[in-house]
Amino acid sequence: MKKILSLLVVAGMVFFASCGQSAKQKEAEQKRIQDSIRVADSIAQVEQAAQAAAQAQQDSIANAAKLDSIAKAEEAAKKPAKPAKKAKK
């Protein structure tokens, strides 16, 4: 009985040892992880570029509004001020 039990224990140990990943599986897993990282980095770069473009557009709009306000102020300064109307008695 002891011989059968020790044989089963040894067979179980060999079975569990052989259940691990093979070198090909480990390599495939590493490649999958690297591909995922590469894709995530690419997505982050695209999002960053889109955010920079949106910020540049907002800055351009703000600058145009500022220049428009300055132009209106200069135009108003060039026109002579109208004299105040006298109140009729």
CA–centroid distance for 54 within its chain: 13
Q: Answer whether residue 56 is part of any domain.
A: yes
Q: Answer whether residue 53 is part of any domain.
A: yes
Residue-range definition of the domain harbouring residue 46: 23-69
Q: What is the DSSP string of 17-36?
A: HHTSPPHHHHHHHHHHHHHH
pLDDT in tens, 18-55: 777 788 888 999 999 999 999 999 999 999 999 999 99
Q: Answer whether residue 84 is part of any domain.
A: no
C-alpha–C-alpha distance, residues 21 and 30, integer Å = 12
pTM for this prediction: 0.49
Q: Count the domains in the chain.
A: 1
